[in-house]
Amino acid sequence: MLEARNLHKSFGELVATDDVSLEFGQEDGELVFIVGPNGAGKTTFINLLTGFLSPDEGSIVLDGDDITAMSADERVDAGIARSFQVVKVFEEMTVRENLRTVVLTERGKTWSLFSMADGHADVERTVDDLLSKFRLDDAANTVAEELPHGDRKLLDVAMSFGLDPDYLLLDEPTSGVSTREKEYVIETVVEVGREAGVTTVTIEHDMDIVTEYADRVVALHQGAVHGVGPPTMLETDDELRRLLLGVGE
Ligand SMILES: Nc1ncnc2c1ncn2[C@@H]1O[C@H](COP(=O)(O)OP(=O)(O)OP(=O)(O)O)[C@@H](O)[C@H]1O
């Protein structure tokens, strides 16, 4: 289980994370969506969980161990991977080459266990598996910068997934993706996460997507937890609806 305990983070006078305590991973393959108006502290919270920011107060606990002081890289090794709002892929490499770099990184730890030939075949099998899971087979030899936006997003998530995480934190995987592609991108991500039993925590602004796919919704407002509940909360919580529509922000 991944826990945030009383996290606080300020930037100067601005409180971006205000006493946030949340738990993830009680159930394998749970799909948690984080919602909230612009500036609510969603990305900051993901940055704190993944080690890209340090909290001013509070702690992050993984399976009972305090990991607050762990670096982002160490957290990846511990099973916490992320994607970014702006895709970070190697633009001039093909999709296959991008995925291979991740699998090699992940395998790096155990590389000596394989002979070179076995190791190579194993890496390629894993890359093929990622290509197929993320429906990128047809784009395997396409250079990343030439991919349609939806496939770029899928490649980005596939690269995080290739790190073999227990927890996958996704910062707006559908941002900038056309309405037509959105459903396809999120459906693919959801399916892969569920099948692998990976807990995914996804920031999402499209409430139709959240309603359709979330097992649990976390709503943030002004850095604090406004509420945690089933997606029906988006219908029943009038205050939340008002916040998400941006009234009074
Ligand atoms: N590095 C930083 N330095 C100063 N202020 C920051 C920094 N990062 C975030 N903030 C501020 O903290 C607040 C929370 O930002 P954050 O990006 O976490 O919100 P968000 O909910 O992800 O917003 P959005 O939906 O617009 O992406 C905002 O007011 C933002 O301007």
Asked whether 233 and 217 are in contact (CB, 8 A), the reply is yes
pLDDT in tens, the chain (249 residues): 999 999 999 999 999 999 999 999 878 889 999 999 999 999 999 999 999 999 999 999 999 999 999 999 999 999 999 887 766 889 999 999 999 988 888 877 555 555 555 667 888 999 999 999 999 999 999 999 999 989 999 999 999 999 899 999 999 998 888 888 888 899 999 999 999 999 999 999 999 999 999 999 999 999 999 999 999 999 999 999 998 886 544
The neighbouring-strand residues paired with 171 are 203
What is the CA(221)–ligand 1 centre distance, in A?
A: 12
Identify the bridge partners of residue 168 per DSSP, sorted by sequence position.
81, 200
Q: What's the CA-to-centroid distance between 224 and ligand 1, angstroms?
A: 13
Q: Identify the residue whose C-alpha is closest to ligand 1 atom 6.
A: 11
Atom nearest to 85 CA in ligand 1: 27
Provide the pLDDT for residue 207.
92
> What's the CATH number of domain 34-40+74-244, 3.40.50.1220, 3.40.50.300, 3.40.50.1390, 3.30.460.80?
3.40.50.300
> Number of helices (H) and strands (E), helices first, in the chain?
9, 10
Which residue's alpha carbon is nearest to atom 12 within ligand 1? 16
Asked whether the ipTM of the predicted complex exceeds the cut of 0.90, the reply is yes
Provide the CA 175 distance to its chain's centre, in angstroms. Answer: 13
- Of ligand 1's listed atoms, the one at least distance from the Cα of 12 is 4
- Residue 14: CB within 6 Å of ligand 1? yes
Report pLDDT for 129: 96
Calpha distance 196→164 (Å, rounded): 10
Q: Is the distance from CB of 153 to CB of 177 less than 8 angstroms?
A: yes
* pLDDT of the residue at 67: 97
